[in-house]
Structure 1
């Protein structure tokens, strides 16, 4: 590789910022290019009337290596662990909240599943079945192993909470690969869970004081002049003379060409598709077809006294079968009390996703009024919120639907044909904060080896 030019990272969201930081730690010259005027992507924090709001990720699953990472950045004093109430989670059925646990034996004692569904869960270990296709949807996999009711009232709301996705489309081997592995290894998902008890959660939940954008803001500050905003990459090609890559970029409307020793696309898939079109049309088409449903985030602040008997807990999920105008709600101030002023409470409500695109088409004022009515009804609240903040992400979480294998195959072929050019958006690495950071560290080592 040509060492005369820096590594160019296209995209200044968490994926791009963490990769820039990892390259910096490895001593590799780099530059991060971000098309917008703000770094951080969907990680954004706001402050309204004493409330601390996160419009993107509201919490982070802590791991030892992530704590070390925060300490390296000087963020250790901003880490706040969730209160004990975070262990209590709920699901809505028949307009009522029911406590839920990922442990199958605890689900057996729940009141929101029928006796027939519990029997299918209890007998799953004795059920022999094979997938109809190699790339099975979550809905088909769960219905085959556990029945439709558990697919509808357990897996659908849980994956709606993580991906805002449609389980009839999401690929089981992409979003829950351990279940496929357990079925193959033990012949049973439940047996696999019993033998791998730490696989379903167990990590401490944390947030950063000041908002989770404290992470992306700190990374941007550390990168300094190596982070270039308002710089849109419109194309890329390889210079045969010196093996470098050349990128056409638009900076505040002025187009120029810059060179790179290696290039990494950490942008959303549709943005990478536009830049890669001339190099690999099939890959660009596959990237462009990845679904990014819109998501609405509604923050609601209440007087604490108005909540009455609202149970403390992480929050609740709403199955699509309940026909509400939202997917679920996090009770922020129950798990992180400092998020709300004294005497107040803070909720974050999630709207839209793959199953609810139509609800975002109505006027925002009408939608917010409808959602507040439904939240108040579920929780028995008669008062109106004292603060509300609404934001829509037009392209939120990438959907890893069945057929995503084709994207991985095309990406692998493309990278093999163009050494030093990488596709590393969160659709390929994973959407969780710890995963994004770990993958950035791994990729930085690979890049260094090729320098």
Structure 2
């Protein structure tokens, strides 16, 4: 695992220059429906053209590496293996690549993310962006406007620190600065400990209490404490009471000091995963392929799968296999021999975050509700049933505006539950809209909902950490099997790519490749 705090600081300048040159500077599949408030055109998701099921005789030809999962982690693994001249095949359950990276587009010439919202500075995915010359843009700030106790605090200033200084009084801001300096020191110590393999005992001890409880002991101003909860809870998809203090500190690397900045792919983030798929070759990707069994033998790996388009069973063979799928998908595979008990302990004792996405199309005049002092206050962290309100993108038709609700935590788990209808979800969201923006209901034209598995985001509960021995064990080779995926590294998409770099390096070393 590469901890990203120092990495982000080291490559920020180079990435910023590269992204400017390019014109600018979360697999788990959702179920989507579109309950409409008023008759309107149906939306159409952007089609995926980058890969097709390979039905030729070469599909089941033995390769060096089989990659289970065609999301960001699986595609990035193939990308790295290609650099080393190692042969591979990606096995993806869905009829498309990208996993939780996908973009919904609409006839109104607007689009919004369905899953992954941004790529933060320091994310190694940005290195792939640079190499593939994928156009990027910066449309948001590091910190965002937020709501606390019914009051909106719009983002002001040019930097995170200027914004924080605008919402705290001078004495409170001094307390914040002292805490921020402490966090920066802790992050350096965490990174150094992880890199050396000798995490200090006093840091590992922080996994014994929640991040929320740890924060209460810090000398933070009340509004500053609420700001931390408002900012970080959506990032990990669960309340800060449910993650260990050590991992809360690790997640704060995005916001310490001047903080990282979010980056977005022009036209939608799925354009990056499609570009990677094109680069690695669609002939090396098998879609509609549901892996059922993983057999690790003395000479290599045999993977059995079902083609979901016709239910034909297939067998694939390779020297090694990478499991680059969400944590909960591991429970759907049968392993022979059975994985070790420590691996099952590591998997079962991890926690999770949840998210649910709602795209809301409104009359363009609705922009007045989030325009404060002449400026657009989105993104807006509501801390409630509306989640984070992101602005949609696109040229638009001049008549409509699209917003994207990224709802996390308990609200997302409730919306994701199959015990209620989407009509019930819409009713709850409409009520919260009216509470937050009185009078907005008459300007809503349609909703599009995307439901995800409730364990979509990895997290580490009290008593666990991404830095503990169970996590370290997951990152090692297990026979010819390697665990990739974001859940082995972090709660963000950077973990998906860091995992890809790790497993590809491990395999290259075994195969004697550069």
TM-score category by the smaller chain? 0.7 to 0.9
Which of 78, 83, 93 is the equivalent residue of 2:148?
A: 93
Aligned to 2:307: 251
Aligned to 1:81: 138
- Structure 2 residues not aligned, in runs of 5+: 1-61, 183-201
| Aligned-residue offset at 1:439 | 4.2
| Aligned-residue offset at 1:424 | 1.2
State the alpha-carbon separation in 1 of the partners of residues 492 and 423 from structure 2: 31
Say if 1:143 and 1:150, in contact at 8 Å, map to a contact too.
no
| Aligned-residue offset at 1:11 | 1.0
Note the alpha carbon deviations across 1:61-89, whole angstroms, 9 max, x for none.
Answer: 3569755522543533xx3332xx74672
Aligned to 1:443: 503
Which of 112, 116, 120 is the equivalent residue of 1:61?
A: 120
State the alpha-carbon separation in 2 of the partners of residues 65 and 104 from structure 1: 25
* Residues 364-373 or 41-50, more deviating: 364-373
| Aligned-residue offset at 1:326 | 2.8
Note the alpha carbon deviations across 1:185-204, whole angstroms, 9 max, x for none.
Answer: xxxx9xxx5xxx34x22x35
Aligned to 1:185: none
State the alpha-carbon separation in 2 of the partners of residues 35 and 273 from structure 1: 15
Q: Does 1:342 align with 2:398?
A: yes
Q: TM-score, normalised by structure 2?
A: 0.70
Q: Does 1:160 align with 2:267?
A: no
DSSP 3-state at the match of 1:214: helix
**Are residues 431 and 342 of structure 1, via their aligned partners in 2, closer, same or farther at CA, if it must alter by over 3 Å?**
farther
State the alpha-carbon separation in 1 of the partners of residues 486 and 396 from structure 2: 31
Aligned to 2:407: 351
**Are residues 425 and 179 of structure 1, via their aligned partners in 2, closer, same or farther at CA, if it must alter by over 3 Å?**
closer
State the alpha-carbon separation in 2 of the partners of residues 281 and 108 from structure 1: 50
State the alpha-carbon separation in 1 of the partners of residues 70 and 172 from structure 2: 45
| Aligned-residue offset at 1:275 | 3.1
**Are residues 58 and 341 of structure 1, via their aligned partners in 2, closer, same or farther at CA, if it must alter by over 3 Å?**
farther
Q: Does 1:394 align with 2:394?
A: no
State the alpha-carbon separation in 1 of the partners of residues 149 and 475 from structure 2: 50
Aligned to 1:239: 297
| Aligned-residue offset at 1:380 | 4.7
Q: TM-score, normalised by structure 1?
A: 0.78
**Are residues 139 and 148 of structure 1, via their aligned partners in 2, closer, same or farther at CA, if it must alter by over 3 Å?**
farther
State the alpha-carbon separation in 1 of the partners of residues 431 and 317 from structure 2: 55
Which of 425, 432, 438 is the equivalent residue of 1:374?
A: 432
| Aligned-residue offset at 1:55 | 0.5
Aligned to 1:327: 387
Say if 1:325 and 1:359, in contact at 8 Å, map to a contact too.
no
State the alpha-carbon separation in 2 of the partners of residues 105 and 70 from structure 1: 30
State the alpha-carbon separation in 1 of the partners of residues 412 and 450 from structure 2: 16
| Aligned-residue offset at 1:46 | 1.7
Say if 2:476 and 2:482, in contact at 8 Å, map to a contact too.
no
Say if 1:246 and 1:258, in contact at 8 Å, map to a contact too.
yes
State the alpha-carbon separation in 1 of the partners of residues 404 and 448 from structure 2: 9
Which of 9, 20, 37 is the equivalent residue of 2:78?
A: 20
State the alpha-carbon separation in 2 of the partners of residues 22 and 307 from structure 1: 43
**Are residues 360 and 266 of structure 1, via their aligned partners in 2, closer, same or farther at CA, if it must alter by over 3 Å?**
closer
State the alpha-carbon separation in 1 of the partners of residues 466 and 370 from structure 2: 46
DSSP 3-state at the match of 2:95: coil
Aligned to 2:213: 140
DSSP 3-state at the match of 1:386: strand
| Aligned-residue offset at 1:156 | 1.9
DSSP 3-state at the match of 1:47: strand
DSSP 3-state at the match of 2:359: strand
User: Aligned residue pairs: how many?
Assistant: 415
Say if 1:138 and 1:171, in contact at 8 Å, map to a contact too.
yes
Report runs of 4+ in structure 1 exceeding 6 Å deviation: 115-119
Aligned to 1:318: 382
How large is the RMSD of aligned CA atoms in angstroms?
3.7
Say if 1:9 and 1:263, in contact at 8 Å, map to a contact too.
yes
DSSP 3-state at the match of 2:241: coil
State the alpha-carbon separation in 2 of the partners of residues 116 and 68 from structure 1: 41
**Are residues 100 and 144 of structure 1, via their aligned partners in 2, closer, same or farther at CA, if it must alter by over 3 Å?**
farther
**Are residues 423 and 126 of structure 1, via their aligned partners in 2, closer, same or farther at CA, if it must alter by over 3 Å?**
closer
- Structure 1 residues not aligned, in runs of 5+: 181-188
State the alpha-carbon separation in 2 of the partners of residues 439 and 213 from structure 1: 19
State the alpha-carbon separation in 2 of the partners of residues 149 and 365 from structure 1: 37
Q: Does 1:283 align with 2:343?
A: yes
Say if 1:269 and 1:288, in contact at 8 Å, map to a contact too.
no
Say if 2:123 and 2:494, in contact at 8 Å, map to a contact too.
no
State the alpha-carbon separation in 2 of the partners of residues 75 and 124 from structure 1: 38
State the alpha-carbon separation in 2 of the partners of residues 390 and 300 from structure 1: 9
